[in-house]
Amino acid sequence: MFVVSVKSSKIRIALFCVFIAIICVISLMFLSKEHSSDVVSDCAISLRASDEKQRISFLSQFGWDVDIEPAEVREIVIPYEFDDVYSRYNELQKKQSFDLEKYKGEIVKKWTYNVNNFPGYENKTGYVQANLLIYNGNVIAADITVLGKKAKTYVIEFPKDVENDTKT
């Protein structure tokens, strides 16, 4: 059996306790930040999108049926200064509790999926797409875009009434 004797002053003990307290506070901050990025507002919506299953799951939370394989995957840079297009797009994102202002200058991945169940386009492949902007494995922006003559971008929530937009 070994007995170790350590001679330390009260100052060293106090500094050690302060160091441990700081480590605990920093750990709690990271855990709470990670947990808060899992939901949008007060809803229990998962923003996790690290892999294909999580991205498809994110879209299905809103009622979307999408192709399993993405139509496109690419990296984009969120500009430091928003032009009119980015400003309008960010206003759309703010309506659904996202804000791209926090990500200015960041490189993000844009995942695009073909949507199979948009009202009025159920049997028309490639006319409607879901776009997800992913940063550090979480969705930071999302939209549904109808392509073609009636091009329009919608929030990610499944539309209640789009008949006026889709009639020819």
Residue 149's pLDDT is what?
84
**pTM for the full model?**
0.71
- Which DSSP state fits 39? S
Judge if 144 and 109 occupy the same domain: yes
Provide the domain limits for residue 152: 52-166
Judge if 31 and 107 occupy the same domain: no
Judge if 76 and 28 occupy the same domain: no
pLDDT tier at 9, thresholds 50, 70, 90 = confident
Judge if 58 and 19 occupy the same domain: no
Q: Is there a contact between 80 and 33 (Cβ–Cβ < 8 Å)?
A: no
Residue 141's pLDDT is what?
97
User: Within a 13 Å sphere around the CA of 67, how many CA atoms are in the beta-carbon half?
Assistant: 18
Judge if 100 and 145 occupy the same domain: yes
Judge if 15 and 80 occupy the same domain: no
Judge if 24 and 59 occupy the same domain: no
Judge if 21 and 98 occupy the same domain: no
22 vs 120, residue with greater confidence: 120
Say if 3 falls within a structural domain: no
Say if 47 falls within a structural domain: no
Judge if 82 and 108 occupy the same domain: yes
Say if 1 falls within a structural domain: no
pLDDT at 154 over 90: yes
Residue 14's pLDDT is what?
62
Looking at residue 73, its amino acid is: V
Judge if 33 and 56 occupy the same domain: no
pLDDT digits (tens, 9 = 90+) for 49-108: 889 999 999 999 999 999 999 999 999 999 999 999 999 999 999 999 999 999 999 999
pLDDT digits (tens, 9 = 90+) for 23-51: 756 766 655 444 333 334 445 778 888 89
Residue 23's pLDDT is what?
72
Spatial CB neighbours of 105, under 8 Å, sequence gap ≥ 6: 77, 78, 79, 80
Q: How many domains does the chain have?
A: 2
Least confident range of 13-22, 47-56, 131-140: 13-22
